[in-house]
Amino acid sequence: MENRIVKTLQNRLATRSISREALKADQIKVLMESVRLTPSCFNNQPWRYLFLESETSRIKGAETLAGGNKSWASRAPLLIVGYSQKGSDCLLPGREYHQFDLGMSAMNLMLAATEMGLVARPMAGFDPTQVRRQFNLSESDQPLVIIGVGYPSTEEDHLPDHYRGISTKTRERKSLDEIIQRV
């Protein structure tokens, strides 16, 4: 049985080779709308995003990245910072539910980007304290992800050797038996 969402997930680009070509304004609006339409606990919509579109903002964003991400993500025409606050969503014992809701919105953004033929690569390798400082976020704001977005490129000269050619390899996924129990 074929499914459009599964097909989109299979087509998701995980490359670090992103063109510097600017995105179209309507593409950026689609990404914004994909975030806005995400479901959340009691419809709290706790996620917040910084779309770093200007060169100045992208440079500031790239300064917060870990070394391995800096080499490729600093070339992206759009960097997106996803953040939320613990108190802005359902408060459940032992769970940081705002993180789950932010994750769902980030996945929606990645699916929308994939549908437009774009790369949307999420990164955990960045300094959250520096992000808060660079973009005047409050101490309670928790930057959880930065996503590099752009058109895929075949150019890999800017990549460290260990990243070259990775995007042409078959993506390895765990088997269903490893991740799902049917009871």
Q: Tell me the average pLDDT across 46-73.
A: 95
Q: What is the pLDDT of residues 92-138, one digit of tens each?
A: 888 898 999 999 999 999 999 999 999 999 999 999 999 999 999 99
pLDDT attached to residue 125: 96
- The residue whose two tokens read 């070509």 is 21
pLDDT band at 153 (very low <50, low <70, confident <90, very high): confident
**How far is 22 from 14, CA to CA, in rounded Å?**
19
Closest CA to 54 of 79, 37, 36, 73: 79
pLDDT band at 59 (very low <50, low <70, confident <90, very high): very high
**How far is 18 from 20, CA to CA, in rounded Å?**
7
How many Cα neighbours within 13 Å face the side chain of 44?
18
pLDDT score of 143 more than 80: yes
Q: What is the pLDDT of residues 13-58, one digit of tens each?
A: 878 889 999 999 999 999 999 999 999 999 999 999 999 999 999 9
Closest CA to 35 of 102, 125, 92, 85: 102
pLDDT attached to residue 166: 72
Token couple for 39: 């479901």
pTM listed for this prediction: 0.93
Q: Residues 160, 162, 164, CA angle at the centre, nearest 5°?
A: 75
Evaluate the CA torsion angle 16, 72, 69, 53 in order and state its sign: negative
